[in-house]
Chain A
Amino acid sequence: EPEVTQTPSHQVTQMGQEVILRCVPISNHLYFYWYRQILGQKVEFLVSFYNNEISEKSEIFDDQFSVERPDGSNFTLKIRSTKLEDSAMYFCATGQGENQPQHFGDGTRLSIL
């Protein structure tokens, strides 16, 4: 069964540094998403991306965050200047549109020191 693949599985970064989290979507999916889960809390929506642009974003997704699909395959989340509170599991999900299940990768654990 096709999968969403995320790399790295764990990223440790100093506060203030930039990080890039990568995701390889399921090949026929056109909608891409990032979610995060802070330890002990809910899975929270960050951003959705379709047709090479952001279709929706949450209040969490401020100017420090950006997404792109630079080469037509990888879907990336960049955090420009990381803060301690950015420590969380970041999940990439892909899907075929509204009223369709989203399929999640296994996540990247981001630890900010």
Chain B
Amino acid sequence: DQQVKQNSPSLSVQEGRISILNCDYTNSMFDYFLWYKKYPAEGPTFLISISSIKDKNEDGRFTVFLNKSAKHLSLHIVPSQPGDSAVYFCAAESYNFNKFYFGSGTKLNVKP
């Protein structure tokens, strides 16, 4: 099941700079997308979401962009902080199917 893909297993960024995490999907029926952050020994924590009727959603330092024609979404973190270091998962849901499909995760390391 490769409906949601995160092709970069890891990303390293300097504190204060922008972190850009990417996610691609294949199912055109997906209409709701989310980003979760996960620390070791904890469950995924919801960060931000976007509906397919939008192309951008912003919450503080976090912005999610959705490009439906390219079936691509990205998470921008500006400015990045060391506490942002975690594994980030994108997830997608299709209308009438009450479950999330997760990507494999990108491990973000923000260096002080």
CB distance from A68 to the nearest CB of B (A): 18
Among B32, B99, B104: residue with most chain A CB under 10 A:
B99
Contact status of A42 and B104, CB under 8 A, knowing A48-B99, A55-B98: yes
Q: Mark B69-102, 1 if CB is under 8 A from A, else 0.
A: 0000000000000000000010001011111111
Stretch of B13-21, B41-49, B60-68 that contacts chain A: B41-49
Closest to A33 in B: B99
Total of A-B residue pairs, C-beta within 8 Å: 57
Residues in A with CB closer than 8 Å to B45 are 104
**Complex alpha-carbon distance, A25 and B44, angstroms:** 15
**Complex alpha-carbon distance, A51 and B97, angstroms:** 16
Closest to A102 in B: B100
Any B CB within 8 A of the CB of A31: yes
* CB atoms of B43 and A91 under 8 A apart: yes
Q: Which B residues have a C-beta under 8 Å from some C-beta of A?
A: 1, 31-32, 34, 36, 41-46, 49, 51, 89, 93, 95-105
